[in-house]
Amino acid sequence: MINEKIQNVLSRLEKDINYENSHRTEVPSEKRLNCISKNIGMFYNIMLKSINAKKILEIGMSVGYSGLWFADAVMSNTQSDGQIITIDRERFKIDNAKKNFEEAGVSSLIKIRDGEARKVLHDIKEEFGKNYFDFIFIDADKESYIEYFDLCLPLVRKGGIIGADNILLPERFNEMMVDYLSHVRSNPNVQSVTIPIDNGEEITIKLS
């Protein structure tokens, strides 16, 4: 079961997401949510509960839809030492995410880092060190996926997971995603597989 307050916010956001998907040309680009699907949210929620994830890092927060799925899993896994750090730099998305987190009752669990992802990731490494996070989610500018992966791999613990969105769709990202998959799967310290749910997720476990 999903936490009731979180579920209420998820349901409201899903209506906005469905409207955006069916009226995309009517929504200004700077106001688009660009969120993961409900199916993908549920997939990650179940996965995070199964690995007992307590410390999560997200690159590309949008309005907090994915973060709410993550928060529900962390709250199921621990009552005290859970932590989610999420990165974004777009004011519209940050302001809306803060409201959504407050409404869902998870503001104390989720900390927003406002800024350019590369710099924030370097700051996080200095602050928390290596092997800290159980799960890291990449859903930001696609041309930077490889760089984000390389910055994130030292931050995730052995047995932890890096997830990446939009591996299969939209098609305009396909060439960049092929490069990303080639880069990730050439690393002998990980094992990786594509999950063909909606836009497609790459799930990479750190072996050593």
**Mean pLDDT estimate for the chain:** 97
Q: Which token pair is 171? A: 């098609």
DSSP code per residue over the chain: ---HHHHHHHHHHHHHHHHHHHSGGGS-GGG---PPPHHHHHHHHHHHHHTT--EEEEE--TTSHHHHHHHHHHHHH-SSS-EEEEEE--HHHHHHHHHHHHHHT-TTTEEEEES-HHHHHHHHHHHH-SS-EEEEEE-S-GGGHHHHHHHHGGGEEEEEEEEES-SS-SGGGHHHHHHHHHHHHT-TTEEEEEE-STT-EEEEEE--
Give the torsion sign (CA, 95, 101, 103, 109).
negative
The per-residue pLDDT for 26 is 83
Q: What CA–CA distance (Å, rounded) separates 73 from 88?
A: 21
Domain locations in the chain as residue ranges: 4-206
Q: Average pLDDT for residues 81-86, to the nearest whole number?
A: 97
| CATH code that applies to domain 4-206 | 3.40.50.150
Tell if the pTM clears 0.85, that is, is over it: yes
**pLDDT band at 23, cuts 50/70/90?**
confident
The pLDDT tens digits for 110-128 are 999 999 999 999 999 999 9
Q: How far lies 162's CA from each of 9, 106, 149, 181, in Å?
A: 25, 23, 8, 12
Radius of gyration of the chain (CA): 16
